[in-house]
Structure 1
Amino acid sequence: MLTFLLAIILLVVGYIFYSKFVEKVFGINDKNETPAYTKNDNMDYVPMSWWKGSLIQLLNIAGLGPIFGAVTGALYGPVAFIWIVIGCIFAGAVHDYFSGMLSLRHKGAQFPTLVGRYLGKTMQSAINIVSIVLMILVAAAFTAGPAQLIAELTPLTFLTAIIIIFAYFLLAAVLPVNRIIGKVYPVFGGILIFMAVSIAIALLFSEHQIPNLTVSNLHPQDLPIWPLLMVTISCGAISGFHSTQSPIIARTLKKESDGRKVFYGAMIAEGIIAMIWAAAAMTFFGNTGGLQEAFAAGGPAGIVNEISTSLLGTLGGILAILGVIILPITTGDTALRSSRMMLTELFSSLFKNLSGKWKVVLATIPVTIPCFLLSTIDYTFLWRYVGFTNQTVATIMLWTATMYLLTNNKLHWITGIPALFMTGMVSTYVFYAPEGLNMDYYVSLVIGAVITVFVCIWYIRKIVSNRKNRSQDSYTSAA
């Protein structure tokens, strides 16, 4: 229990102190007029208060990610606590802050546009495809689970439930951000927080003993911690999906100083939620072996339902149903909204002559159709590919932020070191994982290390080149 409480305290302290340091490095200026005012269109660019933006951002980036991912990561034991704390404070929250603030500084630009500006057009072309694929996978994966539960609880069929969900998706994606998202999502964000806090309090005062710190791998199948834990628990530590969601809220901020509370703060809140659910999962079933049996019996949704109803009674059952149905749906629709924004930027010449409403509708349809088709296949199959694609996008975003800081002569290490860490993790994962090349673990480690070394050399050369350019500029100015 001591480790769990200490981890929560560290996350809060990380927000209080490290977020201010990151904000200082970025360099905010509240005199700068934000895109919410300079590009106000009453659709995507609409000023909103920071507290409302924070709750919407939390709901957009979280959904069931920090719940399902955390209970799955709990199979590794308390080592998951370490990853959530370190990953969230030094990687995930920094990633989210820069993805939001860079969008803010570049007129509400989407993630691929930012990549193109700082990593080049070739990388932008690749990340456009990867990002849109990620959005489609997330929306599909976050549709299948709720549809299945709706089919079990009501007379509706699975297909009918999917159709209803997608009808809502289309409605939420094409309406102005302050209609449904701005009015209803803060309430759902509050439910997400209330659900986690209730579980934490009930867990602390129950007879269950939360395990303390150990770096031992307690996974029943003895799966390696590196790199699998870092992909299993992405939401709650670091998630590339967030870089696609942050521009939605960046287009609504009233001033730059709101960014720390909205982007860094929402990620810390997600980390706390993930910590609570990881602790509940590794505690409630006695050990990781018992948790594995619970997975086999009912999957993550069954685990969440059993923990909630056992610790909170009827209220827990209601919260579990709300969580498993509502939370993933609210993430799925903003995934489609983000992909619509990306397509609009990518094919701006095709959409420039269309009126606002027609442009929004026509940009939404191409991503909705494949998402609908994918949502009818196995959820667990989809989720495996979401994990890898997600962390690849996170790695690219960190390198984008690093090049921004380097170009502007700022302290680039705060993103460069996490970017190198993520490069090694993703490189190893793609060679080792079943959905990757499924190679021998130790061979994958070596290949991942070699790739990371080459990327590190590229990074060092960029640093040296930047210093030379600064020296030349100084010499020219002096002359």
Structure 2
Amino acid sequence: MVTFVAAIILLILGYFVYSKVVEKIFGVNDENVTPAYSQADGLDYTPISWWKGTLIQLLNIAGLGPIFGAIMGALYGPVAFIWIVIGSIFAGAVHDYFSGMLSLRHNGEQYPSLVGRYLGKSVKAVINVLSLILMILVAAAFTAGPAQLISQVTPLSYMAAILVVFAYFILAALLPVNKVIGKIYPVFGAVLLFMAVSIAVGLFFMNQPIPNLTFENLHPQQLPIWPLLMVTISCGAISGFHSTQSPIIARTMKKESDGRKIFYGAMILEGIIALIWAAAGMTFFGGTDGLAQALTEGGPAGVVNEISTSLLGQLGGILAILGVIILPVTTGDTALRSSRMMLVDLVKQMGMKVDSYKKTVLLTAPVIVVTFALTQMDYSFLWRYVGWTNQVVATVMLWTGAIYLLQNGKFHWICSVPAMFMTSIVGTYIFYAPEGFQMAFESSMIFGIVITLSVIFWFMLQVKKSKNSSFHQLEKVAS
């Protein structure tokens, strides 16, 4: 229990201390006019208060990610606490802050455009495809999951439930941001927080104590901590999906100094939620073996339902159903909205005009069709391919932030160090994982090291180029 409490305190301290360091290095200026005013269109660009923005951002980035992912990560034991704390403070929150603030500085640009601006057109071309794939996979996975539960607790069939969810998705993706998202998402965000805090309080009254820190791998199948834990717990530590969501809120911000509360703050809140559910998973079932059995019998949704109803009674059951249905839906619809925004930006960059609401709707149609088709596939299959894609997107965003800081003569290490770490994660994971090349762990590690060293070599060349450029500029000034 000491480890759990200490971890929560560290996350809170991370917000009050390290977020200010990150903000100072980035450099905010509230005299700059934000896109919510300079690009106002009544659809995506519209001012929203910072507290609403924070709750909307939390709901957009969270969904069931910090709940399901944390429960799966709890199979490794208390070592999961370390990754959630370190990942959230030094990687995830930094990633979210830069994805949001760089979008803010560039008129609400989408993630692929930001990547192209700092990493080049060739990387942008790959990321455009990868980002859209991630958005569609997330939207499909977060349609299938809630639809399955709706069909179980209501008279609706699975297909009818999917149609209901999709009808909402289309409305949320096409209506102005302050009509649906701005009004009901803060409420749902509050429900997410209330649910987590209630579970946390309930844990203190259990006979089984929350386990304290051990570096031992307690996974029943002895799956390696590196790199699987870092991909299993993505939301709640670092998630590339967040960089696709941050521009939605960047287009609604009233001033730059709100960025620390919205982007860094929402990620820390998500880390606390993940920490609570990881602790609940490894405590409620008496250890990782019991948790593994519960996951086999009822899946993550069944585990959430059992913990909630046991600790909170009838209220817990209601919260569990709300969580498993509403939270993924509210992430899926913003994934669809983001894909629509990305397509609009891409078409505009190709020289075509998107000057009417009708054209915006037409651009959304292909994404909706593909997403709907994917909902007919197995949910677990969809989710497997979200993980690695998600962390690659996060890694590229961190490198984008590092290059931005480098080009502006700022302390790039706050982005480049976590970027190197994440490069080693995704480089190793793809060779080892079942959805990857399924190679031996030792061979996967070697390939991961080679990839990481290659990327570090590239970055060192960028550092050298930046220093030479600065030196020549000084020479010109002197002469």
Please indicate the TM-score interval, normalised by the length of the shorter structure.
Answer: over 0.9
SS of residue in 2 equivalent to 1:10 = helix
d(CA) in 1 for partners of 2:15, 2:306: 32
Residue of structure 1 in register with 2:269 after alignment: 269
Residue of structure 2 in register with 1:304 after alignment: 304
d(CA) in 1 for partners of 2:95, 2:399: 10
- Whether 1:122 aligns to 2:97 is no
CA apart distance, 1:355: 4.1
d(CA) in 2 for partners of 1:358, 1:428: 45
- Whether 1:109 aligns to 2:109 is yes
d(CA) in 2 for partners of 1:314, 1:162: 27
d(CA) in 2 for partners of 1:356, 1:12: 45
Residue of structure 2 in register with 1:289 after alignment: 289
The answer to whether the 8 A contact 2:348-2:354 is kept is no
Residue of structure 1 in register with 2:459 after alignment: 459
In structure 1, the gaps of 5 or more residues are: none
Residue of structure 2 in register with 1:46 after alignment: 46
The answer to whether the 8 A contact 1:309-1:317 is kept is yes
Q: For residues 340-396 of structure 1, what are the alpha-carbon distances to aligned partners after superposition, in whole Å with 9 as ceiling and x for unaligned?
A: 000001111679545431122112111111111111211111111000000000000
d(CA) in 1 for partners of 2:476, 2:351: 44
CA apart distance, 1:208: 2.2
SS of residue in 2 equivalent to 1:29 = coil
- Whether 1:212 aligns to 2:206 is no
Structure-to-structure mapping, 1:332-371, within 5 angstroms: 332-348=332-348, 352-371=352-371
The answer to whether the 8 A contact 1:344-1:351 is kept is no
- Whether 1:319 aligns to 2:311 is no
d(CA) in 1 for partners of 2:159, 2:441: 40
SS of residue in 2 equivalent to 1:347 = helix
d(CA) in 1 for partners of 2:229, 2:242: 19
Out of 333-342 and 349-358, give the one that drifted further: 349-358
d(CA) in 2 for partners of 1:448, 1:370: 33
- Whether 1:91 aligns to 2:102 is no
Aligned residues with identical type, % of pairs: 67
The answer to whether the 8 A contact 1:3-1:213 is kept is yes
The number of equivalent residue pairs is: 479
d(CA) in 2 for partners of 1:77, 1:383: 22
Q: For residues 306-338 of structure 1, what are the alpha-carbon distances to aligned partners after superposition, in whole Å with 9 as ceiling and x for unaligned?
A: 000000000000000000000000000000000
Residue type at the aligned position of 2:248: I
d(CA) in 2 for partners of 1:168, 1:275: 31
Residue type at the aligned position of 2:202: A
- Whether 1:138 aligns to 2:119 is no
Structure-to-structure mapping, 1:50-61, within 5 angstroms: 50-61=50-61
Residue of structure 2 in register with 1:199 after alignment: 199
Residue of structure 1 in register with 2:235 after alignment: 235
Query: So what's the TM-score if we normalise by structure 2?
Result: 0.99
Q: For residues 394-446 of structure 1, what are the alpha-carbon distances to aligned partners after superposition, in whole Å with 9 as ceiling and x for unaligned?
A: 00000000000000000000000000000000000010001011111100001
Residue of structure 2 in register with 1:165 after alignment: 165
Residue type at the aligned position of 1:460: M
SS of residue in 2 equivalent to 1:309 = helix
d(CA) in 2 for partners of 1:192, 1:64: 9
Q: For residues 59-89 of structure 1, what are the alpha-carbon distances to aligned partners after superposition, in whole Å with 9 as ceiling and x for unaligned?
A: 0000000000000000000000000000000
Out of 369-378 and 305-314, give the one that drifted further: 369-378
d(CA) in 2 for partners of 1:329, 1:351: 34
Structure-to-structure mapping, 1:375-386, within 5 angstroms: 375-386=375-386
SS of residue in 1 equivalent to 2:87 = helix
- Whether 1:67 aligns to 2:78 is no
Q: For residues 169-207 of structure 1, what are the alpha-carbon distances to aligned partners after superposition, in whole Å with 9 as ceiling and x for unaligned?
A: 000000000000000000000000000000000111222
Residue type at the aligned position of 1:50: W
The answer to whether the 8 A contact 1:351-1:359 is kept is no
d(CA) in 2 for partners of 1:216, 1:157: 45
The answer to whether the 8 A contact 2:43-2:177 is kept is yes
Residue type at the aligned position of 2:26: F
d(CA) in 1 for partners of 2:115, 2:207: 50
Out of 359-368 and 4-13, give the one that drifted further: 359-368
Out of 454-463 and 231-240, give the one that drifted further: 454-463
Residue type at the aligned position of 1:294: A
d(CA) in 2 for partners of 1:353, 1:340: 15
d(CA) in 1 for partners of 2:203, 2:94: 30
In structure 2, the gaps of 5 or more residues are: none
RMSD: 0.9
d(CA) in 2 for partners of 1:364, 1:45: 18
Residue of structure 1 in register with 2:148 after alignment: 148
d(CA) in 1 for partners of 2:356, 2:27: 34
SS of residue in 2 equivalent to 1:430 = helix
